[in-house]
Amino acid sequence: MLAAAVAVLVFPFIAAAFPTSSYWIDGRYGLLLPPLVVILLALALAGPPLDPAVAAEILGTEARRFWSKGSMVRAERGPRRLAPVGPVALLVASLVVVLAASATMAAAHEGGGVPVAPARFFSGWSDPNAPAREVIDRMEADHLTTAYGDYWTAYVLDFLAPGRVQVSPSPLDYDRWPAMAARVAASRDPAWLFFDPGRTAAAAQAFSNPEVGPGSFTEASFEALLDAQHVPYRVVQLGVLDAVVPAHRVTLPAPTQG
């Protein structure tokens, strides 16, 4: 019980201090906290372990008689005293969880527009992926089924539209899905996705992404590369993103060694 209580209390601090936890706003590192809370709650509700003699009697041949005469057994043995650590640990952990949830909601309200007022809580929500879904719909409308993007943009679109569009980080970006990269590389004319220069803030929020385009290119610098290689292209508006579609393959600069 004490170990579970301490684990619940110190876990948020360990997650925040651990070097590989990355951004504090990244919720994936909090996924291990709920099991600890469940374990603590179960231990608190169950109370202290049974006396070994009682446990042996339950598991033995007299189990049925034990349960049928449970009140007699309890009367003979007298009332059990509950260890105070159970209720105290449960109370402290519950307060920590409530305070952490309140702080999270307050921060989300300030930074992400999460409705916390009672009158709006069940009616003031919107789809945070709406801008990304608009990008997918417009790609399909223009028959852009394969594309290169940066790491964050590519995998968000793949997650939201499996099988509908295929987007991979460019050869200059970190790649976690070699099979998807191979499918996009085999495509005849993949598009290249960039933040709309006039909507960079909205695009960054939509994809939780600081990168304006694949390979550290901006839309303007990529178009300059195409012009230098005499590659015709067209630009398709996709909402918060623009798709630059070269007429044929592009020769990318060699990655910078550092």
pLDDT digits (tens, 9 = 90+) for 58-82: 566 455 555 555 544 444 555 555 4
pTM for this one? 0.60
Task: Report the alpha-carbon distance of residue 195 to residue 104 in Å, rounded.
Answer: 29
The pLDDT confidence band at residue 258, using thresholds 50, 70 and 90, is very low
pLDDT given for residue 149 in this prediction = 93
136-168 pLDDT per residue, tens = 999 999 999 999 999 999 999 999 988 889 999
pLDDT given for residue 71 in this prediction = 46
Of 18-22, 31-35, 64-68, 109-113, least confident by mean pLDDT is 64-68
Higher-pLDDT residue of 56, 64: 56
Cα→Cα distances 121→97, 107, 124, 127, Å: 20, 15, 6, 14
Contact 212, 218 (CB under 8 A): yes
The mean per-residue pLDDT over the stretch 190-218 comes to 90
Task: Report the alpha-carbon distance of residue 184 to residue 168 in Å, rounded.
Answer: 7
Of 4-8, 118-122, 192-196, least confident by mean pLDDT is 118-122
pLDDT given for residue 69 in this prediction = 52
pLDDT given for residue 257 in this prediction = 47
The pLDDT confidence band at residue 114, using thresholds 50, 70 and 90, is low
Contact 204, 213 (CB under 8 A): no
Token output for 26: 């990244």
